[in-house]
Structure 1
Amino acid sequence: MTITNPTTTSAWSALTQHKASLTPNLRAWFEQDPSRAQKFSFDAADLHVDLSKNLITEETVQLLLKLAEEVNLAERRDAMFTGEHINVTEDRAVLHTALRRPKGYSPPSLLMGRMSIAMFTPF
């Protein structure tokens, strides 16, 4: 799996141009779009996240999604959660995600061969 430097992507360039073109004015943005709070808010488990007061637009979100795609973020995330060897600085897999798993979650068998989750559950 190759690592892409995000600053070399076309999405990064587009984000840089987008940032330069923005005239941040939250008051005006809320006046122009009464549904801004709804558009930039979501619930994740017991958490309510409101990004509407951040200096973002719908275009910003689309460009960030494009950047994530160009650097293969989903593939990298999946590699992390399955315990693949992605920690190049320490030359090993990253397994800390297994330690933060939800109660009752069974990690992929790949992880079970590398560590014993049971020894960490008391902590």
Structure 2
Amino acid sequence: MLCLDELGSLDLQPHPGRQWKGPDREPRPRRRASCIRPHGVRHLFAAYGPARDRLYGHIENIKHCSKFLEFSRSLRSLYPPEVRIAIVCGNHSPRLTTKCCRRVADRAGTSNVEIAHTPTNSS
């Protein structure tokens, strides 16, 4: 079983200097939010395997069905093909099976993967 979720959009911009509070100094003032993102944002796809106590992740430039399929393919490669994998996901639209796009469901069926979606507005 793997628990999968994504986080984004991440604004990964390095800032010079020490930004954290240390034991011997006062905290620095908070940085103001910036809407300037000249290099775009990133999205984190992450999966936790409770049986192995491992966390797997990929950072992508965009979050859509193809990137989810790439990440699920990499998760599938962690286990032998005859082992059935259960992936517990939220209800983010790129993972949901719809009448117009069955790519996720078809890939799951052919690669011995079961995808379980959590109910709407659940944690």
Q: Say yes or no: TM over 0.5.
A: no
Question: Counting helix residues as a fraction of each chain, which structure ranks higher?
Answer: 1
Report which of the two has the higher share of strand: 2
- Please identify the structure whose Cα radius of gyration is greater: 1
- Provide TM-score, normalisation by structure 1: 0.29
